[in-house]
Amino acid sequence: MNDKEKLITEFYTAFQNRDFKRMQNFYHDGATFSDAVFISLNAAQVKAMWEMLVKAGKDLKLEFKNVSAAQNKGSAEWVASYTFSRTGRKVINRTTAEFEFKDGKIIAHKDHFDFYTWAKQALGFAGVLLGWTGFIKNRIRKSAKQNLNNFMLKKA
């Protein structure tokens, strides 16, 4: 296992252990993060996002596999199981992560998952009917961004 694979493994082990402080330490001060819900977060936002999600995910379970890295890029697959707090519905989210590294830390992190599959689980019938639409995706993004902003303001 090379240094980058070790970093990814330690990151997801911290996630499994719900240790957001350790997770935050893996990010470079200039880091960025994006996924289907959280778009173009900066380092402060991504660190706060993981804290918010870990604290909110009371029943969060995480598994990861297929960690690989070479030079300044890496990847992993991970599955999160949790209850979506807004609806109380159970979600199993299968994600592929891509990483870029700088100075031994994560400088860019992109998670890829099927938003429609997530929406069907998290939102139920509304997700089945409308989860594929830009309207629902944008509404979820706006709500998530507002939740993150509120979380960060409370911490300040």
Q: Where are any strands of DSSP class E within the chain?
A: 27-34, 41-42, 61-70, 73-84, 89-102, 105-112
Say what the pLDDT of residue 135 is: 81
Say what the pLDDT of residue 96 is: 98
For residue 155, give the nearest of 20, 33, 52 by alpha carbon.
52
Structural domain of 119:
3-155
The domain total for the chain is 1
Say what the pLDDT of residue 136 is: 87
Say what the pLDDT of residue 25 is: 97
Query: Distance (Å, rounded) from C-alpha 52 to C-alpha 75?
Result: 23
Say what the pLDDT of residue 134 is: 83
Q: What CATH number does residue 20 fall under? A: 3.10.450.50
Say what the pLDDT of residue 10 is: 98
Identify the segments of the chain with pLDDT beneath 70.
none
Q: Tell me the pTM.
A: 0.92
Query: Distance (Å, rounded) from C-alpha 148 to C-alpha 42?
Result: 12
The answer to whether 102 touches 72, Cβ cutoff 8 Å, is yes
